[in-house]
Amino acid sequence: MMKLLGILIWRDLSHAYGFGGSQGAKAGTRRGGFILPVIFFLAVAAIYPFAVGSDAQLLARTGGGVIWVAALLAAILPLDRLVQPDVEHGFFDQWAVRGLSEEWIMLAKIVAHWLSFGPPLMLATIIAAGLLGLDAAQLRTVEAGLALGTPGLAALGVMIAALTAGLKGGSALGGLMLLPLAVPMLIFGAGSVLPDGENGLLLLAAASLVLVAIAPFAAGAAIRALRE
Amino acid sequence: MHGFANPTRFLSIARPLTPILLWLGVALVAISFYMGLFTTPADRLMGETVRILYVHVPAAWLGMAGWTSIAIASIVELVWRHPLAAIAARASALPGAFFTTLCLITGAIWAKPTWGAWWVWDGRLTSMLVLFFLYLAYMALARESQAEAAAGRSGMSRIAAIFGIVGAVNIPIINRSVVWWNSQHQPPSITMGQSSIDPVFLWPMAIAVLGFSLIFGALVLMRMRTMLAEIRIEGRLRRKAMGASVS
């Protein structure tokens, strides 16, 4: 079982990071998909000062929240590539024939999506923190928050990608579905950056954990519903 | 419970029940509005504006009850594959969204004279706003997935049910997070209901809540009947088309 999960995670990761040779091209997914959300994330962080001015104090005070908003928006971008291509290529049916349940596949997908989404975003946050003038303590809190929150965002993303995989207007709908459900993580994540807001990290971890716990089951049920 | 899976049996109950619920609800709301507008006094602190309570509180209650009924119907749909549950869940969405909107609007109208601004990032208002967005997402998803289900992929109607349950799990978390956020950003001075509501206001409010709930039930039944009628029409047209192509 663990070996199968490892294979599944490796497959998705190699698609996302583009080191899978021609495999990714065969499956019809664009390779190197991890880079687009990161660029988008940095772009949002970079245009924010254009909107509110370059006052260093204002930027430092609001920067943590801006990074969280940017992370949420970046989480919407990969939604239509996460599950839909696999549904179209009968990927889930192949594994169902092998007797692996959809919940396990979805768990592997969540882990793989997190590994291709969380760490690059955390690296990019160092640059974004420089752009927004966060100090070292704030950067540490934001990074800790992202480490705790991105698994939840990845789980939410895979779940919503599975729910919208069979729909024509799925990608536009995905953002509308993701944002309200991500509100608790945004509040706790951005709240933890404020002065004496460290308790927010615990609540953020809890909110993230709830999503990680329910997402494989919701996404698995969605894939089974697609089949009928 | 599967006795009501037969649409004919369901309709035989729903058809007489709809006007009973509707007119009883309208009568109760009229009584509560009369009491609210003429027989109860103005509030000591909030003055005459307190009378919006008799619309605002039932609207807030039904906004949340709407999603609760979506969640219950969704569970029934997923667990027992009850055919009417899918219809009941989708039928509850629009009335729920309507009352959530009504709650937000009356809240804004009430906030202007009492708090001095149309919108305050109060915990209750904010979580109702998030609930409103969840309703929009649910309705869009239900419409899209129903279109796919009508095109022959019957399992697609369960997609909206999954989202309904996920939303129900998250609504309490969203509510708590907003309250926590609020206490961090501003002192929680703007909370109403700390002074317990006087019984003078409580009675008309309870009648209004009951009346609006009955109207809500009537609306859901009406929408369910409409959806069942549409399914019937489609089936009849399909049979007709098939009969025409055979002959």
Minimal C-alpha gap between A25 and chain B (Å)? 29
3-state per-residue secondary structure call for A54-117? CCHHHHHHHHHHHHHHHHHHHHHCCHHHHCHHHHHCCHHHHHHHCCCCHHHHHHHHHHHHHHHH
So what's the pLDDT on residue A197? 74
Burial status of residue A147 (CB atoms within 10 A of its CB: 0-12, 13-18, 19 or more): middle
Question: Per residue in A174-224, pLDDT tens?
Answer: 889 999 999 989 988 888 888 777 788 898 999 999 999 999 999 999 998
Write down the pLDDT at residue B5: 67
The pLDDT-based confidence of B190 (bands split at 50, 70, 90) is very low
Residue B119 pLDDT class (50, 70, 90 cuts): confident
- The pLDDT of residue B3 is 62
The whole-number pLDDT of residue B89 equals 92
Mean pLDDT lowest for which of A28-32, A104-108, B76-80? Answer: A28-32
From A166, A200, A214, residue closest to B159, measured CB to CB: A166
Backbone angles phi, psi at A28, to 5 degrees: 85, 5
pLDDT given at position A21: 54
Residue B155 lies inside a defined structural domain of this protein: yes
* CA proximity to A84, closest of A23, A193, A173: A173
- The whole-number pLDDT of residue B121 equals 76
Q: Is residue B30 included in any domain, yes or no?
A: no
Its domain, for residue B143, covers 49-183+199-235
Query: Which of B78, B140, B156 faces A176 most closely, judged by CB atoms?
Result: B140
Q: Is residue B99 part of a domain?
A: yes
Average pLDDT over residues B46-61: 82
Q: What is the average pLDDT value for chain A, to the nearest integer?
A: 86
Amino acid at A149: G
Q: Name the β-bridge partners of B47.
A: B43
Q: What is the pTM of this model?
A: 0.87
Residues of A in contact with B156 (CB under 8 A): 166, 225-226, 228
CB contact under 8 A, A203 and B177: yes
SS3 content of chain A, % helix, strand, coil (to 5): 80, 0, 20
Does B54 reside within a domain?
yes
For chain B, what is the mean pLDDT?
83
In this structure, the number of other CB atoms found within 10 A of the CB of residue A36 comes to 14
Give me B42's structure tokens: 């103005």
Is B177 domain-assigned? Answer: yes
Q: Compute the distance between CA of residue B165 and CA of residue B74 in angstroms, rounded to an integer.
A: 7
Cβ of A167 under 8 Å from any chain B Cβ?
yes
Q: Which of the two residues, A227 and A162, has the higher pLDDT score?
A: A162
Which tokens belong to A176?
């509308």
Domain count of the fold of chain B = 1
Q: Classify residue B43: in a domain, yes or no.
A: no
Whether residue A28 is predicted with pLDDT greater than 70 in this model: the reply is: no
pLDDT of residue A148 exceeding 90, the answer is yes
Query: Cα dist. B80→B2, B69, B73, B75, B158 in Å?
Result: 9, 16, 10, 8, 12
pLDDT at A45 over 80: yes
Weakest-pLDDT range from A157-161, A173-177, B85-89, B196-200: B196-200
Q: Give the tens place of pLDDT for each residue, A49-99.
A: 888 888 888 888 888 889 999 999 999 988 888 888 888 888 888 888 888
What is the spatial distance between Cα B240 and Cα A98, in angstroms, rounded to a whole number? 43
Q: Look at residue B44 and tell me if it is in a domain.
A: no
* Residues B14, B17, B19: CA angle, nearest 5 degrees: 120
Confidence class for position A107, pLDDT limits 50, 70, 90: very high
At residue A205, the pLDDT reads 93
Q: Which residues contact A105 (CB under 8 A, 6 or more apart)?
A: A8, A92, A95, A220, A223
DSSP bridge pairs for B43: B47
pLDDT confidence of A153, banded at 50, 70, 90? very high
Nearest C-alpha neighbor of B158 from the set A226, A181, A93, A173: A226
Calculate mean pLDDT across residues A168-172. 74
Say if residue B216's pLDDT is above 90.
Answer: yes
The percent of residues in chain A predicted with pLDDT above 90, rounded, is 42
Residues in chain B with CB shorter than 8 Å from the CB of A183 are 130, 174, 177-178
Contact (CB<8Å) B170/A181: yes
How many residues does this entry show for chain A? 228
Q: Identify whether B88 is part of a domain.
A: yes
pLDDT band at B185 (very low <50, low <70, confident <90, very high): low
User: Looking at beta carbons, which residues of chain A come within 8 Å of B184?
Assistant: 191, 194, 197, 200
- Which one is predicted more confidently, B177 or A212? A212
Give residue B6's identity as a one-letter amino acid code. Answer: N
Q: How far is B75 from chain A (nearest CA, A)?
A: 12
Please state which of the ranges A91-95, A119-123, B140-144 shows the lowest mean pLDDT. A91-95
